[in-house]
Structures are given as C-alpha cells and as structure tokens.
Amino acid sequence: MHPYVELAKNAIKEYVKSKKILTMSEELPPEMKSKAGVFVSLKKQGQLRGCIGTFLPICENIYQEIVRNAISAATEDPRFYPVQADELEDITYSVDVLSEPEKIKDISGLDPKKYGVIVVKGYRKGLLLPDLEGVNTVEEQLRITKMKAGMDPDDKDVEIYRFTVQRHK
C-alpha cells in the first residue's frame, strides 16, 4: 500500500474509532513535506462512499492535507452518512495529488482520461477528477462539472482549468 493511502486509512481509522486526529511524526518523508491539493476517495463494494479534497493546498504540507481530507471524506461528505467503525474493513482508499491548475483557452486542451477539470463562474466552482469510470468525453466531463457547481450545463461563458493527478491506491 502506498504511504499516502496508508496515511489516509490510518487517519480515518483513528478518527472514527477515537475522534483523535493523527499527529505528524518529527521526521516526515521528503515527499510529504511539499504542498499540493489532495483528494481522498473512499469506496465500499466498488461504490463511492466519500470524496473530499482541495484543488489548492490549504495545509502546511501533503501529510496534513491528506489527514484533513481523509477525515472529511469519511465524516463530512454531504452525500453520505459518516463512516462507521464496522465499515472500515470494507472500504478501499485512493489519494490523488493534484498538479497546480492551468487555465485553458479552449476545450481542445482537455482529455477526460488525462486531465481533471475545474469550471469557474463568479463564486461558483466545480471540480471533477480525471479518469473516472463512465466519463469518456470532454463534453460529458464539462457537463458533470458544471452541474456539480450548480451551473447551467450548457453555459459556455465559464473559465476552465485543467490539472493532472498522481493517483495512489
């Protein structure tokens, strides 16, 4: 298991069982000292069970970003009730570390298998990770992302950003 995934799993287990937040050890591995946006996704029997993340870092380092977003994915995703202790063994975890978003001029620069997408209009923002099952076209990716942001899916007057992820399972 990748160290990022192990950290997410341990953070959720500790929080669900004891309501305690994992603390950093003195010596973090170098890859956890940098800053990046992170999404933590939980699945149970192949179905989404929680997914929360940040597309720009808000914590001091990747370690803290993973811990924060893992606990949020397990306990604060509004689509699901909080993860219970008896579910922990049935959950699979993935951690996506995001590149910095890059504004694009037109949709020819998108590819739903390679790039995630962010749409922005006014105060509304939506994000969709790349390489998701069932999302095969740029148009579909943009439609879903706009709907997540509460926008009209046919609205063409939006800012579009793309990003890549390093997905760890």
Provide the CATH number for the domain around residue 136.
3.30.1490.150
CB 73, CB 7: distance < 8 Å: no
What CATH number is associated with residue 37?
Answer: 3.30.700.20
* C-alpha to C-alpha distance for 139 and 82, rounded to whole angstroms: 33
- Same-domain status, 79 and 52: yes
User: Structurally, how many domains does the chain consist of?
Assistant: 2
Provide the residue-wise pLDDT of the chain in tens; the chain has 169 residues: 999 999 999 999 999 999 999 988 778 888 899 999 999 999 999 999 999 999 999 999 999 999 999 999 999 999 999 999 999 999 999 999 999 999 999 999 999 999 999 999 999 999 999 999 899 999 999 999 999 999 999 999 999 999 999 999 9
Domain that holds residue 25: 3-98
What letter would DSSP give residue 34? S
